[in-house]
Amino acid sequence: MKTKTLIFIISISFFPFLSGCSLFEPDDAWLKPIPPSNTLPPITQTGANTFGCKVNGQVWLPTTVWVDYHNGGMVISAFSEQRYSARSAVVITISEFAAFKPGNYELSTNTSYISKGSYGSGKDMYYTDSIYLGSLTINRLDSVNSILSGTFSFDAKHVSTGEVIHVTEGRFDNKYN
């Protein structure tokens, strides 16, 4: 139970970024700056420090990505603080998985492990659950070179209104500490 609580806390830790709070200095080593663009980055497996997806058909790119890989799971948190628009974040969490390795994973509450896809913009929060699902494919997990790369997509429901968003064509290729 403690592990589930810890993973939940980690997966919602991006909320201060959405509200305008800053918990970290820009030079923190584990925050990975992403250069802005209007197109999705290519799908790579080289540790190219890329992340992108479409949210309801619109390209969504972060300004910062944080990747935490540990034996048994991972959390990828991507934050966008674009000028003149709401702060937003995409977070993907997999935890309590005995043999986390390259392969396909379901993002839902229907699994024996903890998994979740989430999107937040301003005060609007969306999560996968037992009905609105997602998928995560880990293409490369390289513990020697500290590279985690893959693809993802998910549908997520607003916590209050029930509105559903569609996150598609997601890809990431990042180094982790």
Residue 35 pLDDT class (50, 70, 90 cuts): low
Residue 1's pLDDT is 47
Domain ranges of the chain: 2-25+50-175
The predicted-structure confidence for 95-112, as pLDDT tens digits, reads as follows 876 677 899 999 999 888
pLDDT surpassing 50 at residue 165:
yes
Average of per-residue pLDDT values in the chain:
81
First-last CA distance in the chain: 26
The arithmetic mean of pLDDT across residues 32-44, rounded, is 75
The pTM of the full predicted model, rounded to 2 decimals, is 0.78
The b-or-e profile of 44-64 (16+ CB within 10 A means b, else e) is beebbbbbbbebeeeebbbbb
Residue 25's pLDDT is 39
Residue 37 pLDDT class (50, 70, 90 cuts): low
Residue 67's pLDDT is 92
CA pair distance 107, 119, nearest whole angstrom: 13
The predicted-structure confidence for 131-156, as pLDDT tens digits, reads as follows 999 999 999 999 899 999 999 999 99
Identify residue 62 by its one-letter amino acid code. P
The predicted-structure confidence for 61-90, as pLDDT tens digits, reads as follows 999 999 998 877 889 999 998 655 668 999
pLDDT surpassing 50 at residue 9:
no
Residue 113 pLDDT class (50, 70, 90 cuts): confident
CA pair distance 57, 101, nearest whole angstrom: 30
